């Protein structure tokens, strides 16, 4: 498929989704690979934006602390408190208040960029496979006429709203110069944070609600609408069954995604108890 036709299909999924999905169902070779790469790139963009902003802030925080120090040979000595709440750094060294925060260590590209990007990629592929499997199995029981390949292609194309979200989130991070702390509606039950930025211990219910509401936004409703339209266009399901299948699949997969939060919250509660 030519690049111009792909662009036409991409624009069509935005303003004429049903006609575009019907057109995709008729094509002998569906351009899902290009769309998958586009969605993957858009999903990783917020990770790149967060890393660039965080690493820049860390460099700015470290620079004054480093520039104020003269190059000296550092020798490890025992640290002991003295009067006034001061700690002696070493022979000839300056005293620093014991309560003063040390500069944060420099953010590693591996932990700050590579691993989160791989996590996004793995989560994306797993979601595509799970959505395709659930829609195919339950859809077949409901009378849909399609294959797993049809469902996989459709699911990838219905992920366009999340690609739009990724681009907008990355733009927001670069403009505001702050990472997005709470996704979706999770800010409604956001836990109180410590000065270090680490969340305080919360109950299992709060963790589950944060995980659930973090997935709820306008792009989710857009995605579910595209899934229902795709089931009508590509699986030939009646509109009512398509809506029920789209909502039911989301509910099932959402409950499945909450299991790690429930298990992690339970383990944390047992350790604290």
Both tokens assigned to 157: 């194309």
Question: pLDDT-derived band of residue 273, with 50, 70 and 90 as boundaries?
Answer: low
In this predicted structure, the answer to whether residue 93 has a pLDDT above a threshold of 70 is: no
pLDDT higher at 3 or 78: 3
- Please, are residues 46 and 173 in contact by the beta-carbon 8 Å criterion? yes
Do 77 and 90 meet the contact criterion of CB atoms below 8 Å apart?
A: yes
What pLDDT does residue 209 have? Answer: 84
Please write down the HEC assignment for all residues of 221-270: HHHHHHHHHHHHHHCCCCHHHHHHHHHHHHHHHHHHHHHHHHHHHHHHHH
- pLDDT given at position 2: 72
Q: What is the token pair recorded at 150? A: 């049809």
pLDDT top residue among 187 and 44:
44
Dump pLDDT digits (tens) for 23-55. 888 887 778 889 999 999 999 999 999 999 988
What is the pLDDT at residue 64? 58
Q: Which of 72-86, 104-118, 174-188 has the lowest mean pLDDT?
A: 72-86
Residue 181, pLDDT above cutoff 50? yes
With 90 as the cut, is the pLDDT of residue 221 above it? Answer: yes
pLDDT at 130 over 80: yes
101 has a pLDDT exceeding 70: no
- Give dist(CA 209, CA 226) in Å, integer: 25
**What pLDDT is recorded for position 82?**
46
Instruction: Please indicate whether residue 203 or residue 235 has the higher confidence score (pLDDT).
Output: 235
What's the longest Cα–Cα distance across the chain? Answer: 82
* Percent of the chain at pLDDT exceeding 70: 73
Domain limits of the chain? Answer: 16-59+107-188+202-272
Q: pLDDT digits over 134-162, tens only?
A: 999 999 999 988 889 889 999 999 999 99
């Amino acid at each position: 498929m030519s690049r111009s036709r792909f662009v036409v299909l991409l624009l069509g999924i935005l303003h004429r989704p049903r006609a575009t999905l019907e057109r995709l169902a008729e094509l002998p070779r569906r351009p899902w690979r290009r769309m998958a790469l586009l969605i993957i790139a858009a999903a990783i963009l917020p990770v790149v934006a967060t890393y660039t902003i965080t690493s820049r802030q860390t460099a700015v925080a470290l620079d004054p602390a480093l520039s104020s120090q003269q190059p000296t040979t550092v020798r490890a000595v025992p640290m002991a408190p003295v009067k006034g709440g001061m700690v002696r750094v070493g022979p000839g060294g300056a005293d620093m208040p014991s309560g003063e925060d040390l500069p944060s260590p420099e953010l590693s590209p591996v932990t700050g960029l590579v691993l989160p990007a791989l996590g996004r990629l793995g989560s994306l592929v797993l979601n595509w496979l799970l959505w395709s499997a659930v829609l195919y199995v339950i859809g077949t029981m409901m009378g849909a006429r399609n294959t797993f390949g049809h469902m996989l292609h459709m699911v990838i194309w219905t992920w366009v709203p999340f690609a739009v979200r990724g681009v907008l989130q990355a733009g927001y991070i670069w403009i505001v110069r702050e990472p997005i702390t709470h996704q979706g509606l999770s800010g409604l039950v956001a836990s109180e944070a410590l000065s270090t930025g680490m969340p305080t211990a919360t109950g299992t219910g709060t963790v589950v609600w944060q995980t659930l509401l973090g997935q709820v936004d306008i792009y989710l409703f857009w995605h579910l609408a595209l899934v229902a339209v795709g089931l009508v266009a590509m699986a030939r399901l009646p509109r009512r069954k398509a809506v029920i299948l789209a909502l039911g699949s989301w509910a099932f997969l959402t409950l499945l995604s909450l299991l790690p939060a429930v298990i992690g919250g339970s383990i944390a509660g047992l350790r604290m108890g």
